[in-house]
C-alpha cells in the first residue's frame, strides 16, 4: 500500500525547502503505515545520507529501488551515496543505469561527472559536467563541479568563470563562493569587470568564506581596472589641488567594494596608504567645520575599521596630535553634559584610537552608522576580556619563552576578522590525498577519530581550521599568550565550535601533559624557541606511532634581506616601544624605499603586531633545508613532503621524478637557485614510526 500522492508531494515540497528534520520525523511515521512506498523510502535514504548514516541510507534506497526499479531519481540518490563512501565504480554503474532509463537526465550526468572525478578521471568528469549543463543550463551544481575539475587541471580562468556562473544563478549557494576564495588571488584580470564587484563584495560579506587579507591585493587590482578609480589613486594629490576633500571622499565612497575591503583587510599598497593617511588628517583638522553626511559617515566608518585592523600603524603629525587632543576634550565635555556627540566626531576619533580606550565608551548610543565600529572596537574587546582560559601552573623558566610570551601578550598575532575555513570536513586519508604527501605508515589513514595538537595556536586561525578540516576531530590548542588565547576562543565561540580546547601551555612543558596525538601542527613557533630541536623533540614524543606532524620554519635564504634591516635596527638602537617602532616604519617609507622593497608588498608591513613580529621579534632562528634534514634524521621521523602546491609545481618543472619531491638535497639545490621561494616559511609534513633512511 502506498501513501496518497498529496502526502508524498507535501513531503517532497518540505524536503526541497530544507525542512529535513521535519521530513525525517514524518517519513519515519509514514513508513510504518506504508512500508512499500518507494517515494518515502527514497526520501529517507536521501536524508540519512545527509546525516552520514549510510547503512540506513542504503537500506531505504535499495528498498525504494526494488519497489520502483525504473525510477532514475532513486538510482541517482543511490549513486550519490556510493560516492560518499568512495565506492566510485559502483556509483558509475548505478548512474549509467539511471541514464539508460532517462538519457536526458541532466542531474544524472552531473552525478556521473562527480563519480568520475572522485575516481581520478578529471577529463572524463569535465565532459559529463558539460553534458549536464548542455541539458540544463541553470544547473548550478554542475557549474560548480566543472569549476572544481578545471581548478584541479590548473585551468584557473575557466574554473573562475564556472564559479561566477554558479553564483549568478543563485547567490545563496555558498560552495562557489568558497571555491572562488581559493583562486581569486591567482586570476589575472585584464579588463574591468563590473559584474565582479558585487560578487566579490558578497564574498567579503560572508562570514569565514574568505580571508580578506589573502585577496585584498587582487581586489585593488580589480578596482584599478576601472579608469576613474585608477586615475584618483595615481593622481590623488594633483586632483586634491582642484577638488575639495568632500568630493574626493565621495569618489571613494562610490565604490562599495573599496570601502568594504579597507574595513576588513590590510591594503598592501603604499600609495593607497598615503591617500588614507591624508584623508584621515584632513577630516581631523577640519572636523568642527565639517558637516556630517551619509557619504562622509560611510567613508569614516570604513576608515576607522581599517585603522583598527592595522592597529593604528599610521604615524601622526604634531598638528594631528594637537587636533586630536582638542577633539577628545570636546567629546569629553559633551558626554559630561549628557549630550551625544555627532557620529562623525566619534568616527574621526576611532580612526586614531580604539573607542574602548576611552572612559566614556559605555555612554555611546549605538546607531546604524556606528554599529560595526562599536562592535569591533568595543563589544569584541570586552567579550574577550570576560573569557576564561585554562592555565598551566608552570612559570616559564626559559628566558626566551618569557620574552616571547610578553611580546604576544602585548601584540597578539595575527589579529583577524574572517578566514577561509573548510566548508565540509574530510577524513585524514582524504586530506593526505588532497595535499599529496607521501605517508609511510598507512595506519594513520584508518583512524576515525583524530586527536590533534596545535602547538602555538596564536589567535586561533590554525586551531579553528583544523577543527573544521578533519572529520571527527578533537583539538587541543596551546599557546604562551593569554591575550592570543582569548582572541582565539572568542573567534571559536563565534563559530559555535565545541571540539577545541584552549590551554595556556609551553611546548617545553608538554612532557608533563601525558597525552598522545595523531596529528600535531606547529607552524611558525619552533624558530622562536632558544632550542628549536628540543621543542621539536618534545613534540615528537607527544606523537603517536604513525602520527603526522606539520612543521613551519623560517628559511635563512628567504629572510636574508629582512636580516639586513634587523641589523640596521640594532645599529640605530631603535627602542622596542610602539612610538619608536611606528616612527622607524615611517622613516623607512620616506627615506629608504629601496631597502623596503623586499617587505613593502607583504601584509606584515601594514599591521603593528605583524610589523613587530617581522622586524622586532624578541628571538628568531632561521634554517636551511640541510639543517632540517639533519633534524628529521636525528628525531627518527620520515619526511612526507611540502604542503604548498604552487611551490611543488615549480619544483617539478626542474625535478621531474615524483620521488624528487621527497629529496631534501634536491630541494636545497632548488632553493639556492630560487632563494625567495620560501618567503613565507618552509611548511612540511613528517611521520613518526619508520626508519629515517628514506629521507
The tens digit of pLDDT for each residue in 119-136 reads 999 999 999 999 999 999
* Residue of 353, 300, 312, 349 whose CA lies nearest to 607: 312
> Interior CA angle at 679 toward 673 and 682, to 5°?
90
With a CB cutoff of 8 Å and minimum separation 6, the contacts of 615 are 562, 565, 566, 569
pLDDT, position 397: 58
> Interior CA angle at 640 toward 422 and 427, to 5°?
35
556/563 Cα distance (integer angstroms): 9
Question: CATH 3.40.50.150 in the chain, residues?
Answer: 399-557+622-690
pLDDT, position 411: 78
* Residue of 460, 472, 475, 381 whose CA lies nearest to 421: 460
399/574 Cα distance (integer angstroms): 22
206/73 Cα distance (integer angstroms): 33
* Residue of 571, 569, 594 whose CA lies nearest to 583: 569
Question: Per-residue confidence at 428, pLDDT binned at 50, 70, 90?
Answer: very high
pLDDT, one tens digit per residue, over 553-564 is 999 999 998 998
Kindly give the pairing relationship between strand 543-553 and strand 517-523: parallel
695/629 Cα distance (integer angstroms): 7
294/347 Cα distance (integer angstroms): 13
The helices-and-strands tally (H runs, E runs) of the chain is 34, 8
295/129 Cα distance (integer angstroms): 46
Dihedral angle over CA of 395, 397, 400, 404, nearest 10: 0
Question: Per-residue confidence at 357, pLDDT binned at 50, 70, 90?
Answer: very high
- Is 693 a residue whose pLDDT tops 80? no
Tell me, what DSSP letter sits at residue 291?
A: P
φ and ψ at residue 136, rounded to 5 degrees: -150, 95
Question: Per-residue confidence at 695, pLDDT binned at 50, 70, 90?
Answer: very low
224/234 Cα distance (integer angstroms): 10
Question: Per-residue confidence at 651, pLDDT binned at 50, 70, 90?
Answer: very high
Kindly give the pairing relationship between strand 450-455 and strand 517-523: parallel
Tell me, what DSSP letter sits at residue 677?
A: T
- Is 396 a residue whose pLDDT tops 80? no
Give the mean pLDDT of 517-531. Answer: 96
CATH 3.40.190.10 fits domain 399-557+622-690:
no
* Collapsed DSSP state (helix, strand, coil) of residue 484: helix
Amino acid at each position: 500500500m502506498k501513501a496518497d500522492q498529496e502526502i508524498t508531494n507535501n513531503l517532497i515540497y518540505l524536503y526541497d525547502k530544507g525542512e529535513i528534520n521535519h521530513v525525517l520525523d514524518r517519513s519515519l511515521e509514514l513508513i510504518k503505515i506504508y512500508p512499500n512506498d518507494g517515494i518515502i523510502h527514497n526520501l529517507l535514504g536521501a536524508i540519512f545520507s545527509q546525516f552520514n548514516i549510510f547503512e540506513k541510507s542504503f537500506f531505504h534506497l535499495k528498498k525504494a529501488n526494488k519497489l520502483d526499479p525504473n525510477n532514475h531519481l532513486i538510482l541517482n540518490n543511490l549513486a550519490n551515496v556510493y560516492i560518499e563512501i568512495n565506492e566510485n565504480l559502483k556509483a558509475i554503474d548505478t548512474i549509467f543505469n539511471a541514464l539508460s532509463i532517462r538519457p536526458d537526465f541532466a542531474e544524472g550526468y552531473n552525478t556521473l561527472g562527480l563519480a568520475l572525478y572522485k575516481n581520478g578521471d578529471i577529463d572524463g568528469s569535465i565532459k559529463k559536467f558539460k553534458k549536464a549543463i548542455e541539458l540544463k543550463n541553470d544547473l548550478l551544481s554542475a557549474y560548480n563541479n566543472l569549476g572544481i575539475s578545471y581548478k584541479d587541471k590548473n585551468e584557473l580562468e575557466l574554473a573562475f568563470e564556472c564559479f561566477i556562473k554558479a553564483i549568478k544563478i543563485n547567490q545563496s549557494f555558498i560552495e562557489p563562493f568558497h571555491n572562488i576564495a581559493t583562486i581569486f588571488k591567482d586570476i589575472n584580470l585584464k579588463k574591468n569587470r563590473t559584474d565582479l564587484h558585487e560578487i566579490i563584495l558578497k564574498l567579503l560579506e560572508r562570514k569565514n568564506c574568505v580571508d580578506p587579507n589573502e585577496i585584498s591585493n587582487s581586489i585593488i587590482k580589480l578596482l584599478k581596472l576601472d579608469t576613474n578609480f585608477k586615475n584618483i589613486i595615481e593622481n590623488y594629490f594633483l586632483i586634491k589641488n582642484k577638488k575639495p576633500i568632500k568630493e574626493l571622499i565621495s569618489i571613494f565612497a562610490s565604490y562599495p567594494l573599496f570601502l568594504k575591503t579597507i574595513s576588513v583587510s590590510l591594503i598592501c599598497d603604499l600609495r593607497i596608504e598615503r591617500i588614507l593617511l591624508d584623508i584621515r588628517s584632513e577630516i581631523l583638522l577640519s572636523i568642527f567645520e565639517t558637516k556630517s553626511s551619509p557619504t562622509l559617515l560611510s567613508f569614516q566608518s570604513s576608515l576607522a575599521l581599517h585603522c583598527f585592523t592595522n592597529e593604528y600603524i599610521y604615524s601622526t603629525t604634531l598638528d594631528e596630535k594637537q587636533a586630536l587632543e582638542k577633539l577628545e576634550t570636546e567629546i569629553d565635555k559633551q558626554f559630561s553634559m549628557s549630550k551625544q556627540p555627532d557620529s562623525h566626531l566619534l568616527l574621526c576619533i576611532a580612526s586614531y584610537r580604539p573607542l574602548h580606550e576611552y572612559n566614556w565608551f559605555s555612554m555611546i548610543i549605538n546607531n546604524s552608522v556606528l554599529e560595526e565600529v562599536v562592535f569591533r572596537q568595543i563589544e569584541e574587546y570586552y567579550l574577550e576580556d570576560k573569557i576564561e582560559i585554562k592555565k598551566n601552573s608552570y612559570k616559564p623558566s626559559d628566558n626566551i619563552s618569557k620574552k616571547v610570551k610578553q611580546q604576544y601578550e602585548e601584540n597578539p598575532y595575527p589579529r583577524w576578522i574572517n578566514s577561509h575555513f573548510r566548508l565540509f570536513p574530510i577524513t585524514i586519508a582524504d586530506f593526505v590525498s588532497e595535499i599529496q604527501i607521501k605517508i609511510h605508515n598507512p595506519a594513520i589513514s584508518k583512524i576515525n577519530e583524530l586527536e590533534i595538537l596545535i602547538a602555538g595556536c596564536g589567535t586561533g586561525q590554525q586551531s579553528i581550521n583544523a577543527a573544521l578540516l578533519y572529520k571527527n576531530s578533537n583539538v587541543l590548542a596551546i599557546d604562551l599568550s593569554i591575550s592570543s588565547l582569548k582572541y582565539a576562543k572568542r573567534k571559536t565561540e563565534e563559530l559555535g565550535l565545541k571540539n577545541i580546547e584552549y590551554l595556556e601551555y609551553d611546548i617545553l612543558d608538554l612532557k608533563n601533559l601525558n597525552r598522545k596525538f595523531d596529528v600535531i601542527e606547529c607552524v611558525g613557533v619552533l624558530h622562536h624557541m632558544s632550542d628549536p630541536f628540543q621543542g621539536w623533540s618534545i613534540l615528537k614524543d607527544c606523537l603517536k606511532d604513525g602520527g603526522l606532524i606539520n612543521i613551519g620554519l623560517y628559511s635563512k635564504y628567504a629572510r636574508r634581506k629582512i636580516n639586513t634591516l634587523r641589523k640596521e635596527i640594532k645599529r640605530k638602537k631603535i627602542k622596542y616601544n610602539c612610538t619608536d617602532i611606528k616612527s622607524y616604519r615611517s622613516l623607512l617609507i620616506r627615506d629608504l624605499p629601496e631597502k623596503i622593497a623586499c617587505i613593502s608588498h607583504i601584509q606584515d608591513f601594514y599591521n603593528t603586531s605583524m610589523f613587530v613580529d617581522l622586524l622586532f621579534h624578541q628571538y628568531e632562528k632561521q634554517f636551511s633545508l640541510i639543517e632540517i634534514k639533519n633534524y628529521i634524521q636525528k628525531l627518527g621521523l620520515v619526511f612526507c613532503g611540502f604542503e604548498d602546491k604552487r611551490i611543488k609545481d615549480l619544483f617539478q618543472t626542474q625535478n621531474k621524478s615524483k620521488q624528487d619531491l621527497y629529496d631534501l638535497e634536491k630541494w636545497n639545490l632548488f632553493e639556492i637557485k630560487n632563494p625567495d621561494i620560501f618567503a613565507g616559511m618552509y611548511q612540511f609534513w613528517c611521520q613518526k614510526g619508520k626508519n629515517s633512511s628514506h629521507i
